[in-house]
A and B are shown apart, each in its own frame.
Chain A
Amino acid sequence: MSKFTVRFINNLPLNSRVFIGGEEAAVKRDKSGVSECQAEVSGKAEVVVKNPFEAQLPFAKWFLRTLFYWIISAFGLFDFVPNKDARVINFAFSADINEDSVATVKFNRYMIDKQAAEITESSCETQISENLYTVDKKAKKRNRAYGAIRVLSVLAMIAVAAVVIIKSITG
């Protein structure tokens, strides 16, 4: 087993997470602003940077969760939509690890259909398999639909409250 360190220059974009060999890796940030994560790897290591969010769940799971959030947040009044614009980062590379290695990744600014990052330095053989900023259109549609439902339910609550207050005043 060898120690594989991945350094990230610039902040991890879009609240993303790093997975090494399918497992989420803990990212630590030092005082200089460089983040890094480490994993014990033998042979080939697959590093994936993704920002999975709830609107990307299968419909039934997403619907049940959203329904629960809608109810406990007083019909959406106190709720929020994480990653409203459904921005997605797809960045993945594989590395051949024979000894302790370090790879440095520099993230670019988010621009739809543009390159997400580049490997600036590496002490091992690396190959990028995914490298793109995109928008998850299905998730965006869901977020918009839920946003509309929240606005409508808040308006309905205001209307009901107004009717109750007017009725209680007029007797």
Chain B
Amino acid sequence: MLLSKKGGRSAYFYMTDKLLKKQFFSHTGTIFSNIAIGAAVFTLAIVLSGIISAILIFFWYLFLILATLFTLFIILIYYPNLFSSVSFDGLNSFINVAITTVAPVSAGISLLFSAVSVIFLAMGEPKRSKGRIIFSSVLIGVSAILFIILLVGVASK
């Protein structure tokens, strides 16, 4: 039976204070969870860039060795300063600064916001946000590990 749109109570009638509170906590918790995910991704990107740059440097030196062997020093005899212009100092110092100063802060932000988001989501509608709560809980662990590793790394320098 198809009835007219009119005549029924508006949606606002059903928005009790309890429901509004639940929606507020769920929405806020999801925002905090998004911030935590963003911060974790940022931290991982910095840490990974350090690892990737190390791999890049390794491959660069491997290439140098191979090039030297394959060309049997011919090119180097004519152009002895061929590779001297290539330097990773700038990249290394940039990544070092990022790992020692920015990454611990973003890992801390991720840890804090994932913990807060779990509290807010639990206060809102835990049944509807089950997946997000589990994900944020896992993120707490990942962020905590990253945070501790980065802090230990900074302290040992």
Contacts and interface: CB of A to CB of B under 8 A. Distances in A.
- Per CB-CB distance, the 10 closest pairs between chain A and chain B, nearest first, are A78-B34, A52-B11, A130-B8, A73-B31, A56-B11, A78-B35, A52-B15, A128-B1, A52-B14, A50-B14
B19 A132 contact: no
Contacts of A128: 1, 3
B23 A54 contact: yes
A48 interface: yes
A69 interface: yes
Interface string B50-78: 00000000000000000000000000000
Interface in A103-161: 114-115, 128-132, 134, 136
Contact of B14 (A19, A79, A134): A19
B12 interface: yes
A24 B23 contact: no
A163 interface: no
Contacts of A3: none
A1 interface: no
B75 to A, nearest CB: 35
Interface residues of A, number: 36
Interface in A15-41: 15, 17, 19, 22, 24
A101 interface: no
Interface in A38-61: 48, 50-54, 56-58
A6 interface: no
B5 A134 contact: yes
A26 to B, nearest CB: 9
Contacts of B5: 90, 132, 134
A118 B146 CA distance: 53
B27 A54 contact: yes
Contacts of B130: none
A109 to B, nearest CB: 15
